[in-house]
Chains A and B, each alone.
Chain A
Amino acid sequence: MELSYLEEVVVEATIKLLRRAATEIPPDVMNALKNALRMETHELAKRQLELIIKNCEIASKENVPICQDTGLICFFVRVGDEFPIKANLYQLLEKAVRKATKTIPLRPNAVHPITGINTGDNVGRYAPVVETELVPGDSLEIKVMLKGGGSEYPSRLYVLKPSRALEVLPKAVLTAIAKRAAFSCPPIIVGIGLGSTVDMALRLARRALMRPLGQRNEDSMIAELEEKLLKMINRLGIGTMGLGGDITALDVKIEWAHRHPASFPLGIVLQCWALRKASCTIRPDGSYRLGW
Protein backbone atom coordinates (compact mmCIF):
# COMPACT_ATOMS: atom_id res chain seq x y z
CA MET A 1 0.00 0.00 0.00
CA GLU A 2 1.53 3.32 -1.12
CA LEU A 3 0.82 5.93 1.55
CA SER A 4 0.20 9.63 0.99
CA TYR A 5 2.15 12.14 3.06
CA LEU A 6 -0.74 12.64 5.46
CA GLU A 7 -1.24 8.91 5.85
CA GLU A 8 2.46 8.54 6.73
CA VAL A 9 2.01 11.27 9.33
CA VAL A 10 -0.95 9.47 10.89
CA VAL A 11 1.10 6.26 11.23
CA GLU A 12 4.14 8.10 12.61
CA ALA A 13 2.07 10.12 15.12
CA THR A 14 0.23 7.00 16.28
CA ILE A 15 3.50 5.16 16.94
CA LYS A 16 4.71 8.14 19.01
CA LEU A 17 1.40 8.11 20.84
CA LEU A 18 1.74 4.42 21.68
CA ARG A 19 5.31 4.90 22.89
CA ARG A 20 4.30 7.79 25.09
CA ALA A 21 1.38 5.83 26.56
CA ALA A 22 3.47 2.71 27.25
CA THR A 23 6.52 4.39 28.77
CA GLU A 24 5.41 7.68 30.38
CA ILE A 25 2.92 7.92 33.18
CA PRO A 26 0.59 10.90 32.53
CA PRO A 27 1.18 13.92 34.82
CA ASP A 28 -2.31 13.73 36.36
CA VAL A 29 -1.72 10.09 37.34
CA MET A 30 1.76 10.82 38.73
CA ASN A 31 0.31 13.66 40.84
CA ALA A 32 -2.41 11.37 42.14
CA LEU A 33 0.15 8.70 43.05
CA LYS A 34 2.32 11.23 44.88
CA ASN A 35 -0.73 12.54 46.76
CA ALA A 36 -1.65 8.97 47.68
CA LEU A 37 1.87 8.43 49.07
CA ARG A 38 1.58 11.63 51.14
CA MET A 39 -1.77 10.61 52.61
CA GLU A 40 -1.12 6.89 53.13
CA THR A 41 -0.34 5.75 56.70
CA HIS A 42 0.18 1.99 56.20
CA GLU A 43 3.83 0.95 55.92
CA LEU A 44 3.42 -1.80 53.30
CA ALA A 45 1.27 0.48 51.15
CA LYS A 46 3.78 3.33 51.40
CA ARG A 47 6.68 1.06 50.50
CA GLN A 48 4.85 -0.19 47.42
CA LEU A 49 3.76 3.29 46.32
CA GLU A 50 7.37 4.45 46.54
CA LEU A 51 8.40 1.55 44.32
CA ILE A 52 5.58 2.28 41.86
CA ILE A 53 6.67 5.92 41.54
CA LYS A 54 10.32 4.90 41.14
CA ASN A 55 9.28 2.36 38.49
CA CYS A 56 7.57 5.12 36.48
CA GLU A 57 10.67 7.28 36.68
CA ILE A 58 12.86 4.43 35.43
CA ALA A 59 10.45 3.58 32.59
CA SER A 60 10.36 7.18 31.41
CA LYS A 61 14.14 7.65 31.65
CA GLU A 62 14.99 4.38 29.92
CA ASN A 63 12.13 4.50 27.46
CA VAL A 64 10.76 1.06 28.42
CA PRO A 65 7.18 0.03 29.18
CA ILE A 66 6.03 0.90 32.71
CA CYS A 67 4.24 -2.45 32.95
CA GLN A 68 4.92 -5.59 30.90
CA ASP A 69 1.19 -5.86 30.25
CA THR A 70 0.90 -3.20 27.59
CA GLY A 71 -2.77 -4.10 27.35
CA LEU A 72 -5.35 -4.38 24.68
CA ILE A 73 -4.87 -1.23 22.66
CA CYS A 74 -7.97 0.99 22.70
CA PHE A 75 -8.25 4.01 20.42
CA PHE A 76 -10.78 6.79 20.78
CA VAL A 77 -10.83 8.64 17.47
CA ARG A 78 -12.63 11.89 16.57
CA VAL A 79 -12.59 12.48 12.85
CA GLY A 80 -13.32 16.00 11.63
CA ASP A 81 -15.72 15.83 8.68
CA GLU A 82 -13.27 17.87 6.60
CA PHE A 83 -10.23 15.74 7.53
CA PRO A 84 -9.12 14.02 4.29
CA ILE A 85 -8.64 10.49 5.68
CA LYS A 86 -11.77 8.49 6.59
CA ALA A 87 -12.31 4.72 6.26
CA ASN A 88 -8.62 4.10 5.54
CA LEU A 89 -7.85 5.25 9.08
CA TYR A 90 -8.42 1.75 10.49
CA GLN A 91 -5.66 0.32 8.29
CA LEU A 92 -3.31 3.11 9.30
CA LEU A 93 -3.93 2.47 12.99
CA GLU A 94 -3.25 -1.24 12.47
CA LYS A 95 -0.05 -0.47 10.62
CA ALA A 96 1.10 1.77 13.48
CA VAL A 97 0.25 -0.89 16.07
CA ARG A 98 2.25 -3.53 14.19
CA LYS A 99 5.30 -1.29 13.96
CA ALA A 100 5.01 -0.05 17.56
CA THR A 101 4.70 -3.63 18.87
CA LYS A 102 8.08 -4.39 17.33
CA THR A 103 9.96 -1.18 18.02
CA ILE A 104 8.87 -0.10 21.54
CA PRO A 105 8.38 -3.14 22.08
CA LEU A 106 4.81 -3.83 23.26
CA ARG A 107 3.75 -7.25 24.46
CA PRO A 108 1.67 -9.06 21.84
CA ASN A 109 -1.71 -9.42 23.56
CA ALA A 110 -4.22 -10.36 20.85
CA VAL A 111 -5.19 -13.99 21.39
CA HIS A 112 -7.87 -16.08 19.63
CA PRO A 113 -10.69 -16.80 22.13
CA ILE A 114 -10.94 -20.50 21.22
CA THR A 115 -7.51 -21.61 20.03
CA GLY A 116 -5.49 -19.29 22.28
CA ILE A 117 -3.19 -18.53 19.35
CA ASN A 118 -1.48 -15.15 19.66
CA THR A 119 -1.42 -13.05 16.46
CA GLY A 120 2.00 -11.81 17.59
CA ASP A 121 1.50 -8.16 16.64
CA ASN A 122 -1.50 -6.87 18.64
CA VAL A 123 -3.60 -6.77 15.47
CA GLY A 124 -6.52 -9.13 15.02
CA ARG A 125 -10.27 -9.28 14.81
CA TYR A 126 -11.49 -6.02 16.44
CA ALA A 127 -7.97 -5.55 17.78
CA PRO A 128 -7.02 -2.79 18.31
CA VAL A 129 -10.35 -1.62 19.72
CA VAL A 130 -11.39 1.55 17.91
CA GLU A 131 -14.22 3.86 18.97
CA THR A 132 -14.96 6.49 16.33
CA GLU A 133 -16.86 9.76 16.52
CA LEU A 134 -17.55 12.14 13.66
CA VAL A 135 -17.11 15.78 14.63
CA PRO A 136 -17.18 19.14 12.86
CA GLY A 137 -13.83 20.62 11.78
CA ASP A 138 -10.79 19.62 9.76
CA SER A 139 -8.55 17.81 12.26
CA LEU A 140 -8.16 14.29 13.53
CA GLU A 141 -7.89 13.57 17.24
CA ILE A 142 -6.52 10.19 18.34
CA LYS A 143 -6.50 9.15 21.96
CA VAL A 144 -5.13 5.83 23.10
CA MET A 145 -5.46 3.81 26.26
CA LEU A 146 -3.55 0.61 27.00
CA LYS A 147 -6.04 -1.52 28.92
CA GLY A 148 -4.31 -4.18 31.03
CA GLY A 149 -5.87 -7.61 31.43
CA GLY A 150 -5.85 -7.88 35.22
CA SER A 151 -7.79 -4.67 35.61
CA GLU A 152 -10.60 -6.03 33.42
CA TYR A 153 -11.11 -9.03 35.65
CA PRO A 154 -13.28 -7.29 38.28
CA SER A 155 -15.28 -5.19 35.81
CA ARG A 156 -19.03 -5.72 36.10
CA LEU A 157 -22.38 -4.94 34.53
CA TYR A 158 -25.58 -4.68 36.55
CA VAL A 159 -29.06 -3.95 35.32
CA LEU A 160 -30.76 -2.33 38.29
CA LYS A 161 -34.46 -1.91 39.00
CA PRO A 162 -35.14 1.74 38.15
CA SER A 163 -37.31 2.27 41.25
CA ARG A 164 -34.42 1.30 43.57
CA ALA A 165 -31.39 2.02 41.41
CA LEU A 166 -30.02 5.02 43.29
CA GLU A 167 -30.21 3.24 46.65
CA VAL A 168 -28.63 0.05 45.31
CA LEU A 169 -25.91 1.70 43.21
CA PRO A 170 -23.38 2.37 46.03
CA LYS A 171 -23.72 -1.19 47.26
CA ALA A 172 -23.14 -2.65 43.80
CA VAL A 173 -20.04 -0.51 43.29
CA LEU A 174 -18.60 -1.02 46.77
CA THR A 175 -19.18 -4.78 46.78
CA ALA A 176 -17.59 -5.25 43.35
CA ILE A 177 -14.56 -3.29 44.53
CA ALA A 178 -14.33 -4.88 47.99
CA LYS A 179 -14.33 -8.39 46.55
CA ARG A 180 -12.12 -7.98 43.52
CA ALA A 181 -10.23 -4.66 43.39
CA ALA A 182 -7.09 -6.40 44.68
CA PHE A 183 -6.83 -8.22 41.33
CA SER A 184 -6.64 -4.97 39.40
CA CYS A 185 -3.59 -3.31 40.95
CA PRO A 186 -4.96 -0.71 43.34
CA PRO A 187 -4.92 2.22 43.89
CA ILE A 188 -7.49 1.94 41.12
CA ILE A 189 -9.41 4.40 39.03
CA VAL A 190 -13.10 3.53 38.85
CA GLY A 191 -15.01 4.14 35.62
CA ILE A 192 -18.79 4.07 35.84
CA GLY A 193 -21.36 4.25 33.06
CA LEU A 194 -24.99 4.99 33.88
CA GLY A 195 -27.94 4.44 31.57
CA SER A 196 -28.42 3.64 27.88
CA THR A 197 -28.18 0.04 26.64
CA VAL A 198 -26.07 -2.50 28.52
CA ASP A 199 -23.16 -2.38 26.07
CA MET A 200 -23.19 1.41 26.05
CA ALA A 201 -23.09 1.55 29.86
CA LEU A 202 -19.79 -0.35 29.80
CA ARG A 203 -18.48 1.75 26.96
CA LEU A 204 -19.29 4.93 28.88
CA ALA A 205 -17.53 3.48 31.92
CA ARG A 206 -14.38 2.86 29.87
CA ARG A 207 -14.58 6.27 28.22
CA ALA A 208 -14.94 7.90 31.66
CA LEU A 209 -11.42 6.71 32.53
CA MET A 210 -9.98 9.07 29.91
CA ARG A 211 -11.09 12.21 31.77
CA PRO A 212 -8.14 13.77 33.69
CA LEU A 213 -7.88 12.64 37.30
CA GLY A 214 -9.24 15.19 39.74
CA GLN A 215 -11.56 16.69 37.14
CA ARG A 216 -15.21 16.24 38.10
CA ASN A 217 -18.13 15.64 35.76
CA GLU A 218 -19.56 18.96 34.59
CA ASP A 219 -23.03 17.94 35.80
CA SER A 220 -23.10 18.80 39.52
CA MET A 221 -25.38 15.86 40.45
CA ILE A 222 -23.01 13.42 38.80
CA ALA A 223 -19.98 15.20 40.27
CA GLU A 224 -21.46 14.82 43.73
CA LEU A 225 -22.00 11.10 43.20
CA GLU A 226 -18.39 10.73 42.03
CA GLU A 227 -17.14 12.36 45.22
CA LYS A 228 -19.43 10.39 47.46
CA LEU A 229 -18.37 7.07 45.94
CA LEU A 230 -14.68 7.99 46.07
CA LYS A 231 -14.94 8.73 49.80
CA MET A 232 -16.75 5.46 50.45
CA ILE A 233 -14.28 3.39 48.41
CA ASN A 234 -11.39 4.92 50.32
CA ARG A 235 -12.90 3.68 53.57
CA LEU A 236 -12.74 0.03 52.47
CA GLY A 237 -9.13 -0.33 53.62
CA ILE A 238 -7.95 -2.32 50.59
CA GLY A 239 -4.91 -0.13 49.94
CA THR A 240 -2.09 -0.51 47.44
CA MET A 241 -2.17 -3.99 45.83
CA GLY A 242 -4.80 -5.11 48.34
CA LEU A 243 -2.38 -5.43 51.25
CA GLY A 244 -4.32 -2.91 53.37
CA GLY A 245 -4.16 0.88 53.34
CA ASP A 246 -5.98 4.19 53.29
CA ILE A 247 -5.97 4.82 49.55
CA THR A 248 -7.85 2.26 47.46
CA ALA A 249 -8.93 4.51 44.58
CA LEU A 250 -7.25 7.54 43.00
CA ASP A 251 -10.52 8.71 41.49
CA VAL A 252 -14.06 7.82 40.40
CA LYS A 253 -15.31 8.91 36.98
CA ILE A 254 -18.93 8.68 35.86
CA GLU A 255 -20.36 9.22 32.39
CA TRP A 256 -24.08 8.93 31.71
CA ALA A 257 -26.68 8.62 28.97
CA HIS A 258 -30.46 8.74 28.94
CA ARG A 259 -31.89 5.32 29.71
CA HIS A 260 -35.00 3.32 28.91
CA PRO A 261 -37.67 3.90 31.59
CA ALA A 262 -37.71 0.17 32.36
CA SER A 263 -33.98 -0.45 32.80
CA PHE A 264 -31.04 1.10 34.62
CA PRO A 265 -27.74 -0.32 33.33
CA LEU A 266 -24.74 0.26 35.58
CA GLY A 267 -21.35 -0.48 33.99
CA ILE A 268 -18.27 -0.65 36.19
CA VAL A 269 -14.85 -0.73 34.55
CA LEU A 270 -11.84 -0.72 36.82
CA GLN A 271 -8.46 0.62 35.85
CA CYS A 272 -5.12 -0.18 37.51
CA TRP A 273 -2.99 2.66 38.89
CA ALA A 274 -1.02 2.53 35.63
CA LEU A 275 -3.60 4.45 33.62
CA ARG A 276 -1.63 4.64 30.39
CA LYS A 277 -3.09 7.13 27.95
CA ALA A 278 -1.97 9.72 25.45
CA SER A 279 -3.55 11.89 22.76
CA CYS A 280 -2.64 13.73 19.61
CA THR A 281 -4.30 16.10 17.18
CA ILE A 282 -3.34 15.99 13.51
CA ARG A 283 -4.06 18.87 11.13
CA PRO A 284 -4.72 18.34 7.40
CA ASP A 285 -1.31 19.92 6.57
CA GLY A 286 0.39 17.11 8.50
CA SER A 287 1.38 19.06 11.60
CA TYR A 288 0.52 17.43 14.89
CA ARG A 289 0.78 17.89 18.63
CA LEU A 290 1.07 15.19 21.30
CA GLY A 291 -0.79 15.57 24.56
CA TRP A 292 -2.36 13.45 27.26
Chain B
Amino acid sequence: MEHLLHTPITEDEVRRLHVGDIVYLSGIVVTARDAAHRRLLQLASKGAPPMDFKGLAIYHCGPIVKKSEDGSYIVVSAGPTTSARLEHFTELVVKVLGVKLIIGKGGMGKTASEIMRRHTAAYLTLPGGAGAIAAKAIKRVVDVKWLDLGMPEALWVFEVDSLGPLIVTIDTHGRNLHLEVIRKAVEKAKRLSSGNLK
Protein backbone atom coordinates (compact mmCIF):
# COMPACT_ATOMS: atom_id res chain seq x y z
CA MET B 1 0.00 0.00 0.00
CA GLU B 2 1.19 3.54 -0.70
CA HIS B 3 0.82 6.52 1.64
CA LEU B 4 1.41 10.20 0.97
CA LEU B 5 2.20 11.77 4.32
CA HIS B 6 2.86 15.30 5.45
CA THR B 7 4.40 16.39 8.74
CA PRO B 8 3.27 16.74 11.47
CA ILE B 9 2.37 13.04 11.44
CA THR B 10 -0.53 11.89 13.63
CA GLU B 11 -0.71 8.67 15.65
CA ASP B 12 -3.57 7.46 13.44
CA GLU B 13 -1.39 7.89 10.36
CA VAL B 14 1.43 5.89 11.98
CA ARG B 15 -0.98 3.10 12.97
CA ARG B 16 -2.09 2.74 9.36
CA LEU B 17 1.46 1.90 8.27
CA HIS B 18 2.39 -1.77 7.84
CA VAL B 19 5.69 -3.45 7.03
CA GLY B 20 6.21 -3.44 3.26
CA ASP B 21 4.12 -0.29 2.67
CA ILE B 22 5.60 2.57 0.67
CA VAL B 23 5.56 6.16 1.92
CA TYR B 24 6.26 9.44 0.17
CA LEU B 25 6.91 12.07 2.81
CA SER B 26 6.60 15.85 2.59
CA GLY B 27 7.22 18.45 5.26
CA ILE B 28 9.98 18.76 7.82
CA VAL B 29 12.73 16.18 8.24
CA VAL B 30 15.63 16.72 10.66
CA THR B 31 18.96 14.92 10.20
CA ALA B 32 20.82 13.55 13.21
CA ARG B 33 23.75 11.18 13.57
CA ASP B 34 25.88 10.00 16.49
CA ALA B 35 27.22 13.31 17.83
CA ALA B 36 23.92 15.16 17.31
CA HIS B 37 22.03 12.46 19.21
CA ARG B 38 24.47 12.76 22.12
CA ARG B 39 23.95 16.48 22.28
CA LEU B 40 20.17 16.11 21.93
CA LEU B 41 20.24 13.78 24.91
CA GLN B 42 22.21 16.25 27.03
CA LEU B 43 19.88 19.14 26.18
CA ALA B 44 16.67 17.14 26.48
CA SER B 45 17.68 15.91 29.93
CA LYS B 46 17.87 19.57 30.97
CA GLY B 47 14.43 20.06 29.45
CA ALA B 48 15.79 22.27 26.69
CA PRO B 49 15.72 20.54 23.28
CA PRO B 50 16.86 22.88 20.47
CA MET B 51 13.49 22.74 18.65
CA ASP B 52 10.06 21.16 18.72
CA PHE B 53 10.25 17.68 17.19
CA LYS B 54 6.63 16.63 17.78
CA GLY B 55 5.18 14.75 14.82
CA LEU B 56 8.32 15.23 12.73
CA ALA B 57 10.70 12.75 11.12
CA ILE B 58 14.30 12.21 12.20
CA TYR B 59 16.55 11.23 9.31
CA HIS B 60 19.72 9.25 10.05
CA CYS B 61 21.82 11.08 7.49
CA GLY B 62 25.06 13.00 7.23
CA PRO B 63 24.57 15.00 4.03
CA ILE B 64 26.99 16.75 1.71
CA VAL B 65 25.90 20.38 1.69
CA LYS B 66 27.42 23.16 -0.36
CA LYS B 67 27.21 26.84 0.54
CA SER B 68 26.38 28.88 -2.53
CA GLU B 69 27.68 32.39 -3.18
CA ASP B 70 24.55 34.08 -1.81
CA GLY B 71 25.03 32.20 1.46
CA SER B 72 22.19 29.71 0.95
CA TYR B 73 22.77 25.97 1.25
CA ILE B 74 22.52 23.44 -1.56
CA VAL B 75 22.13 19.78 -0.59
CA VAL B 76 24.32 17.77 -2.97
CA SER B 77 23.92 14.19 -1.74
CA ALA B 78 21.89 13.00 1.22
CA GLY B 79 21.21 9.27 1.56
CA PRO B 80 20.66 7.42 4.85
CA THR B 81 23.31 6.23 7.30
CA THR B 82 23.37 2.97 9.32
CA SER B 83 20.66 3.24 11.97
CA ALA B 84 21.92 0.42 14.21
CA ARG B 85 24.43 2.83 15.75
CA LEU B 86 21.59 4.96 17.09
CA GLU B 87 19.49 2.21 18.65
CA HIS B 88 20.13 3.38 22.22
CA PHE B 89 18.70 6.83 21.49
CA THR B 90 15.26 5.55 20.45
CA GLU B 91 13.62 6.37 23.76
CA LEU B 92 14.94 9.92 23.58
CA VAL B 93 13.78 10.40 20.00
CA VAL B 94 10.37 8.75 20.19
CA LYS B 95 9.25 9.10 23.81
CA VAL B 96 10.92 12.33 24.92
CA LEU B 97 11.00 14.33 21.68
CA GLY B 98 7.80 12.94 20.16
CA VAL B 99 9.22 12.03 16.75
CA LYS B 100 6.81 9.88 14.74
CA LEU B 101 8.96 8.58 11.89
CA ILE B 102 12.59 7.48 11.97
CA ILE B 103 14.20 7.23 8.54
CA GLY B 104 17.47 5.39 7.99
CA LYS B 105 18.93 2.20 6.60
CA GLY B 106 19.94 -1.23 7.82
CA GLY B 107 17.18 -1.37 10.42
CA MET B 108 16.95 -1.12 14.19
CA GLY B 109 16.72 -3.80 16.85
CA LYS B 110 14.29 -5.21 19.34
CA THR B 111 14.60 -2.40 21.89
CA ALA B 112 13.88 0.23 19.24
CA SER B 113 10.86 -1.58 17.80
CA GLU B 114 9.38 -2.12 21.26
CA ILE B 115 9.71 1.59 22.10
CA MET B 116 8.23 2.53 18.71
CA ARG B 117 5.29 0.18 19.24
CA ARG B 118 4.60 1.57 22.70
CA HIS B 119 4.81 5.22 21.67
CA THR B 120 3.32 4.85 18.17
CA ALA B 121 6.21 5.55 15.82
CA ALA B 122 7.48 3.76 12.72
CA TYR B 123 10.81 3.14 11.02
CA LEU B 124 11.20 3.67 7.28
CA THR B 125 14.15 2.94 5.02
CA LEU B 126 15.61 4.45 1.92
CA PRO B 127 18.11 2.46 -0.13
CA GLY B 128 21.55 3.21 1.29
CA GLY B 129 23.95 4.80 -1.14
CA ALA B 130 21.22 6.48 -3.15
CA GLY B 131 22.31 9.93 -2.02
CA ALA B 132 21.88 11.75 -5.33
CA ILE B 133 18.20 10.75 -5.65
CA ALA B 134 17.38 11.53 -2.02
CA ALA B 135 18.87 15.03 -2.37
CA LYS B 136 16.38 15.76 -5.17
CA ALA B 137 13.46 15.58 -2.74
CA ILE B 138 15.02 18.17 -0.44
CA LYS B 139 13.54 21.49 -1.45
CA ARG B 140 15.07 23.81 1.13
CA VAL B 141 17.41 23.94 4.09
CA VAL B 142 15.15 25.56 6.69
CA ASP B 143 17.80 25.71 9.38
CA VAL B 144 21.06 24.18 10.53
CA LYS B 145 22.26 23.83 14.10
CA TRP B 146 25.52 22.64 15.59
CA LEU B 147 27.85 23.10 12.63
CA ASP B 148 30.64 22.89 15.23
CA LEU B 149 30.07 19.11 15.10
CA GLY B 150 31.10 19.12 11.43
CA MET B 151 28.97 18.98 8.29
CA PRO B 152 27.94 15.31 8.55
CA GLU B 153 27.07 15.53 12.25
CA ALA B 154 25.16 18.81 12.30
CA LEU B 155 21.39 19.00 12.76
CA TRP B 156 20.02 19.90 9.31
CA VAL B 157 16.37 20.90 9.13
CA PHE B 158 15.11 20.06 5.63
CA GLU B 159 11.85 20.82 3.92
CA VAL B 160 11.18 17.80 1.70
CA ASP B 161 8.71 17.15 -1.09
CA SER B 162 7.74 13.49 -1.65
CA LEU B 163 10.87 12.00 -0.13
CA GLY B 164 10.73 8.35 -1.13
CA PRO B 165 9.94 5.66 -1.92
CA LEU B 166 10.40 5.02 1.80
CA ILE B 167 9.72 1.42 2.79
CA VAL B 168 8.07 0.73 6.17
CA THR B 169 10.18 -1.93 7.92
CA ILE B 170 9.20 -1.47 11.59
CA ASP B 171 5.51 -0.87 12.28
CA THR B 172 3.36 -0.51 15.40
CA HIS B 173 1.83 -3.97 14.91
CA GLY B 174 4.84 -5.90 16.16
CA ARG B 175 6.72 -6.47 12.92
CA ASN B 176 10.40 -5.72 12.33
CA LEU B 177 11.36 -6.83 8.82
CA HIS B 178 15.11 -6.46 9.41
CA LEU B 179 15.09 -8.78 12.41
CA GLU B 180 12.90 -11.29 10.57
CA VAL B 181 15.41 -11.43 7.69
CA ILE B 182 18.45 -11.63 9.99
CA ARG B 183 16.91 -14.41 12.09
CA LYS B 184 16.28 -16.52 8.98
CA ALA B 185 19.75 -15.75 7.58
CA VAL B 186 21.53 -16.77 10.80
CA GLU B 187 19.58 -20.01 10.88
CA LYS B 188 20.40 -20.68 7.22
CA ALA B 189 24.09 -19.84 7.77
CA LYS B 190 24.21 -22.46 10.50
CA ARG B 191 22.65 -25.11 8.29
CA LEU B 192 24.74 -24.25 5.23
CA SER B 193 28.03 -24.38 7.09
CA SER B 194 27.26 -27.57 8.98
CA GLY B 195 26.62 -29.32 5.69
CA ASN B 196 23.01 -30.30 6.51
CA LEU B 197 21.68 -28.45 3.53
CA LYS B 198 22.33 -29.28 -0.09
Contact = CB atoms under 8 A, between A and B. Distances in A.
B55 interface: no
Interface string B101-133: 000011100000000000000000101111111
A65 B186 contact: no
B77 interface: yes
B106 A242 contact: yes
Interface residues of B, number: 50
Given A64-B77, A182-B106, A241-B106, A107 B152 contact: yes
Given A67-B77, A185-B129, A238 B185 contact: yes
B178 interface: yes
Interface stretch (B10-18, B59-67, B91-99): B59-67
Contact of A51 (B64, B165, B189): B165
Contacts of A239: 181
A164 to B, nearest CB: 12
A291 interface: no
A108 interface: yes
Interface in B138-184: 149-153, 165, 167, 169, 177-178, 180-182, 184
Contacts of A185: 105-106, 127-129
A73 B35 CA distance: 22
A67 B181 contact: no
Given A51-B165, A67-B79, A243-B177, A272 B127 contact: no
A167 B192 CA distance: 12
Contacts of A273: 129
Contacts of A175: 186, 189-190, 193
A287 interface: no
Contact of A58 (B63, B125, B133): B133
Given A109-B152, A111-B150, A241-B128, A150 B189 contact: no
A269 to B, nearest CB: 16
4 interchain residue pairs of minimum CB distance: A118-B150, A171-B193, A185-B128, A174-B189
Interface of A: 44, 47-48, 51-52, 54-55, 58-59, 62, 64-70, 105-109, 111, 116-118, 120, 148-150, 153, 170-171, 174-175, 177-179, 181-185, 232, 235-244, 272-274
10 contacts: A65-B64, A68-B63, A68-B152, A69-B62, A107-B151, A107-B152, A116-B35, A179-B186, A184-B82, A236-B189
